[in-house]
Amino acid sequence: MDKYLKDFDLPHKHSSEAALRRWRSAVTIVKNRRRRFRDVANLAKRSEAEQQKLKIKENLRVAFYVQKAALQFIDASGRVEPRLSEETRDAGFGIDPDELASMVRGHDIIGLKVHGGLEGLARKVRVSLDEGVKSCDVAMRQKIYGLNRYTEKPSRTFLMFVWDALLDLTLIILIICAVISIGVGLPTEGWPEGMYDGVGILVSIFLVVLVTAISDYRQSLQFRDLDKEKKKIFVQVTRDGYRQKISIYDLVVGDIVHLSIGDQVPADGVFILGYFLLIDESSLSGESEPVRISEEKPFLLSGTKVTDGSGKMLVTTVGMRTEWGRLMETLTEGGYDETPLQVKLNGVATLIGKIGLAFAVLTLVVLVVRFLVEKALHKEFTDWSSSDALTLLNYFAIAVTIVVVAVPEGLPLAVTLSLAFAMKKLMNDKALVRHLSACETMGSATCICTDKTGTLTTNHMVVHKIWICGKAEELEGSKSTDILKSIISERVSSILLQAIFQNTSSEVVKDKDGKNIIMGTPTESALLEFGLLLGGNFDAERKEYKIVKVEPFNSIKKKMSVLVALPDGRLRAFCKGGSEIILSMCDKIVDHDGKSIPLSEVQVSEITDIINGFASEALRTLCLAFKDMDDTSDENNIPIYGYTLIIVVGIKDPVRPGVKDAVQTCLAAGITVRMVTGDNIYTAKAIAKECGILTEGGLAIEGPEFRSKSLEEMKEIIPKLQVMARSLPLDKHTLVIHLRKLYDEVVAVTGDGTNDAPALHEADIGLAMGIAGTEVAKENADVIIMDDNFSTIVNVAKWGRAVYINIQKFVQFQLTVNVVALVLNFVSACISGSAPLTAVQLLWVNLIMDTLGALALATEPPNDALMKRPPVGRSVSFITRTMWRNIIGQSIYQLIIIGVISVYGKRLLRLSGSDASEIIDTFIFNTFVFCQLFNEINSRDIEKVNIFRDIFDSWVFIIVMVCTVGFQIIIVEFLGTFASTVPLSWQLWLLSILIGAVGMPVAVVLKCLPVETDTSSIQHDGYEALPSGSEQA
């Protein structure tokens, strides 16, 4: 089949517009285009949205330059005092919302000075730059200056989904047929007999439309919940005098927002203070060069990204008054990209639809020709009545209904249903899927490149060991205070506390109850806790010294430096970071008296051994150092050598519970786990061994060594590579590229920092950390791991596999029904001149195999067995030989049974009398339905014999089966007038069920038939070879 589906091949990520247009044009047989293409990207709207975004960006850039020139002119000629609205004045504010928005958007530095600069602006928006907004003022600020929300498209109502379902072309034709049937039937057959056929079709259509609409509406609600979760972004603000986290939607004008690397600026604002704050404005202006924010360039725009440094800003404009607010309106216009599986099944549906259409036309031709021949033989060719018209109309309705059943419209929609169900479940399990295709692709992952800190470990850090003044000590809670005071002199303690409290991007703040809370990264929090343990006072230390310059930590430099002005006017530099990096910058060391003495080669060797010893105990090692500057005029440069080493710190970050089992699950599933970390190689190896990642024969390498390898050397080492330490984000990116291109691996990669964005973007599945991850990392990721836990990643892989296998189950089930229904109607039409199943009955069968079948099979939860088989490769056939074996085998069985009943049913069942034909027709319909129901149970496992495993865990499956049986009883026993059925005896009911149930032992026999010639344990399509004995059961 794959050779007919070449136009429906789509990459997992970064699909070109040409590829998206190609498969759309290849879809020719569609019953309901609006419903089929509802969940795929609207390329026309997307193109319009892109044009609008470019226009907004260009307008912003032009407006900036025009306003700059205008401001110079205005400054020369004198400014017009802006008028203050009465509402704003009554609320006590001194500046109007539109004027404030215009000033920041136009970078009007002169206007800012006119309002008294930052302090004057703060007074006009009634806020203290130290205390922040008062909670009691939030409602008033929202009323005057607006909410920080963007205009969104209204959600689709249930009636819209009903209308979508009604737009099915075949259903429209059937509605017309039903109306004509009623119109012709009433004059010929009278009331109410003339109504039955038409009303039966209309009722069936109503049921199909209702069930379809309910299913689609529920699915849309799941996506809506997912979208809400995606938009949850929290920022740190100072409110009511203390620092706290709030949602960006709760931001108001006047809020003091804290920004750090990787954050998205949540609103327009003015810079208060900060260090080396670099902003990427490309999302708004299109300019690729980051902008340095300072007192001379104080304006920050919503939607831009912090690429380096840290700072605080005063919020001046929120929501739709910002340029970002206008841009956000266009972001979802084009919809989301479709997944490869959706596209592939659109191809399958198109191919089968063409075959079904051909069969429907052939069936109609055969029925009409037979009818005309019979009229000619009876010499009635010129004698036509309304009953003849009804017969031809009935033939046409049957042909149309065959198309309804034959075109598997539900195939691509079942993928969306399954993905929506999986994404909802994963959201409850702390994994937020941002891109639909990621959930699907994760099931094929062959390699996971994971970070160490916070993913494999708990990220709850504490200083466990130190080496200072030539002595190593292990810290044990409060007892450590006395020990530390006994080995550290007051002068050493003073320098150490300066190094801890001055050289940090974290803060010690008071909560509502006045207790100390540390706000910052886990590593810095551990150091600050250590400083507080020594008796230090964070606020006192920060007030005593003035910070002159800061070089924030990033994953490339692996260090953080700060330059401070001492009370006597001298400058002192502090540096902390990766232990061997800081040690290489030192030529002196602090002695017991706090004096700097030369650092000998012997001491360097001893300290290196200490560092490696700490690292071998799985501790994260850091060094802290300082340097007194001789030249007080050099305030712009922080030195890179000549430091004095103060302390070596070993920070404990325990491995998460369950990580080792999760890694073993991955290995059993054919997924290689590689650790890529910036930590010391000894720390990395110790943690990797504890997690089960580093195995015998596995390779651990440092980033610099990896970078120095040639391509040929990389080809040799990458298959054995299990740990990469002291790596840069570029190393992770390079590893991902080589794994994908050289080894055709499906790679999942984790990341949390801004610099991880290229690797997350390049990988097949980018996994960002929800707690430690920056907004930039999350934006470039496909899945956000909200609890930063490796076990959650494994759960995503399991659900990805479940989606793939569930769709395969549904496809196997639906294609079996397609084959049987097509062949049965065509052969019957050729032989007897009538179809065994009426239009109403076929509509009911269509509902069973389409919407209800998708609900039952496409929403089954994963089981542990899914993680005991290899991943499915990139280029394998979706419909496997095993599936074809099951489809053909079950189809043959059902066709033989129904064929025998059709020909010999009256004789075998000893039926006679005027109603014998109606009983046989009803019995065929009933048997056909039960064959499908039992085949639905068979489809729960494509290969294994035990189809009942975990069946009660799938409550949706149970509900669908019970409802289907219940409604089948109602149709046969009570709706006979409309459905062309008669009540059956309990013996015939039992026989129908038994015949359907025989399909289960037939399935067992089929599963014992080999379908591969390869005798290896792994089949070509990525499945395990068929088990035998107890394993098969």
Q: Which of 692, 585, 565, 568 is nearest to 634 (CA)?
A: 565
Q: Which residue has the tokens 């980033």?
A: 703
CB atoms within 10 A of CB 848: 22
Q: From start to end of 59-132, where are the E strands?
A: none
CA dist., res. 238 & res. 913, Å (int): 89
* CA distance to 575, 580, 587, 888, per residue, from 621 (Å): 14, 9, 19, 63
CB atoms within 10 A of CB 981: 23
Question: In sequence order, what DSSP letters do the residues of 795-844 get, joined into one string?
Answer: HHHHHHHHHHHHHHHHHHHHHHHHHHHHHHHHHHHHHHSS-SS-HHHHHH
* Terminal Cα-to-Cα distance of the chain (whole angstroms): 31
CA dist., res. 1011 & res. 886, Å (int): 10
Given the residues 451, 731, 752, 782, the one annotated as active site: 451
Omega before 192 within 30 of 0, i.e. cis: yes
Pairing mode, strands 305-317 and 462-468 = unpaired
197 is catalytic: no
CA dist., res. 42 & res. 754, Å (int): 31
CB atoms within 10 A of CB 131: 13
CA dist., res. 675 & res. 685, Å (int): 9
Question: In sequence order, what DSSP letters do the residues of 168-192 get, joined into one string?
Answer: -HHHHHHHHHHHHHHHHHHHHH-TT
323 in Cβ contact with 284 (< 8 Å)? yes
Tokens linked to 417: 């249903």
- Dihedral of alpha carbons 484, 486, 488, 493, sign: positive
CB atoms within 10 A of CB 220: 19
Tokens linked to 1029: 């004995």
- DSSP assigned state of 463: E
* CA distance to 54, 298, 300, 909, per residue, from 277 (Å): 26, 10, 11, 87
CA dist., res. 9 & res. 369, Å (int): 41
443 in Cβ contact with 802 (< 8 Å)? yes
Q: Which residue has the tokens 């997992």?
A: 12
Contacts of 350 (CB under 8 A, 6+ apart): 26, 27, 28, 29, 30
932 in Cβ contact with 849 (< 8 Å)? yes
CA dist., res. 932 & res. 928, Å (int): 6
Burial degree of 221 (CB within 10 A; 0-12, 13-18, 19+): middle
Pairing mode, strands 586-590 and 305-317 = unpaired
- DSSP assigned state of 5: -
* CA distance to 274, 348, 593, per residue, from 386 (Å): 88, 41, 115
Q: Angle, nearest 10°, between helix axes 169-189 and 386-406?
A: 160
- Dihedral of alpha carbons 242, 248, 251, 256, sign: positive
Q: Which secondary-structure segment (H or E) carries 373?
A: helix 340-377
* CA distance to 118, 578, 703, 738, 999, per residue, from 681 (Å): 48, 11, 10, 22, 59
98 in Cβ contact with 146 (< 8 Å)? no
List the catalytic residues: 451
